[in-house]
Amino acid sequence: MVTRTVWVAAAATIIVIIIVASTYYFCNYAAPSPAYSQLLTPTDQADLNWAGYSVASNFSDPKPVVTGVTGSWVVPQVEISQNDTFSAVWIGIGGTFGHTLIQTGTEQDCVNGTLYYSAWYELLPDYSNTITTIEVSPGDTISASIDLVNSAENLWAVYISDVSTGQSFNQTFPYGSSRLSAEWVVERPDVDNKLSQIANFGSVTLSNCKARINNELKAFGYFPSIRIFMYNMRGTRLADVSNYSSNGSSFTVEYLTSQ
């Protein structure tokens, strides 16, 4: 939901994995973006905030050609915890390279022993905005999209709907996105400028995950991608991420631990 924290102090074993995977990835996807017609193997990466997937035209020399993203999920029921815990599920554009992330999603938190659920959107570097016209409950089906509707004026349409209740939000914003990547993420956000403790969300399956790259709208598995696992500073994996489905359009994030 807020500026991503890049993990620079990963455990040595994780660094080795990333280096080996990145070498393989760059050797295979350094060329300019072709018209991808088959599912591609993602590269694994560690992060302090995120668990999910990111796609781009390629990751060695990304082009500003990402103009749309879609995704759906069921709002998870989080567990009541002794400490304050937080989680967010979202789709976005521009978060992997630089700091121009436009995103929308849901938040699932436990604060002072009370559970809170909400829908929101955010255009970095601004803070997130709660969408008051949508009441979110665990078990609700959410559908969301972000699309560039006027490239000359940098106008983006942000849409999110609670399919279960029929409530929705649809608004257009001027925003200078990098247009370099698209994301589908479960996050432990920064709260009061500090990395929060992840809420126990069980598992979340994100489906209908598509991106528009070079004017091609396809399931994310058909584009160069990185699979992002959430770790803490001690090298403990906090959330697991499955491989994508056979059609390349869905995956599951599973809570492991908050410690």
Name the pLDDT band for 123 (thresholds 50, 70, 90): very high
Task: Identify which of 161, 201, 184 has the alpha carbon closest to the alpha carbon of residue 69.
Answer: 184
Interstrand relation of 167-174 and 155-162 (parallel, antiparallel or unpaired): antiparallel
Checking if the pLDDT of 17 tops 50, the result is no
Q: Cα–Cα–Cα angle for 145, 149, 150, nearest 5°? A: 150
- Is 90 exceeded by the pLDDT of residue 101? yes
Q: How many helices (H) and strands (E) does the chain have?
A: 1, 18
Look at residue 10 in the predicted model and tell me its pLDDT: 38
Work out the average pLDDT over 48-52.
97
pLDDT tens-digit readout, 228-249: 999 999 999 999 999 999 999 9
Please say if the pLDDT value at position 88 is more than 80: yes
Q: Which region among 16-20, 49-53, 115-119, 199-203 has the lowest average model confidence (pLDDT)?
A: 16-20
Tell me which of 139 and 10 has the higher pLDDT. 139
Looking at residue 1, what is its pLDDT? 63
Contact 60, 206 (CB under 8 A): no
Whose tokens are 């489905």? That residue is 245
List the chain domain ranges. 12-255
133, 143, 147, 194 from 127: Cα distances, Å: 18, 22, 20, 14
Q: Which CATH number among 3.40.630.10, 3.40.47.10, 2.60.120.700, 3.30.1180.10 corresponds to the domain 12-255?
A: 2.60.120.700
In this prediction the pTM is 0.86
Residue 220 is given by DSSP the state: G
Strand 129-130 and strand 66-74: pairing? Answer: unpaired
User: What is the Cα–Cα distance from 187 to 107, expressed in whole angstroms?
Assistant: 9
User: Of the given ranges (2-11, 46-55, 167-176, 211-220), which has the lowest mean pLDDT?
Assistant: 2-11
Please give the Cα distance from 47 to 229 (Å, whole number).
Answer: 6
Tokens of 14: 């994780």
* Residue 38 to residue 226: CA distance in whole angstroms: 16
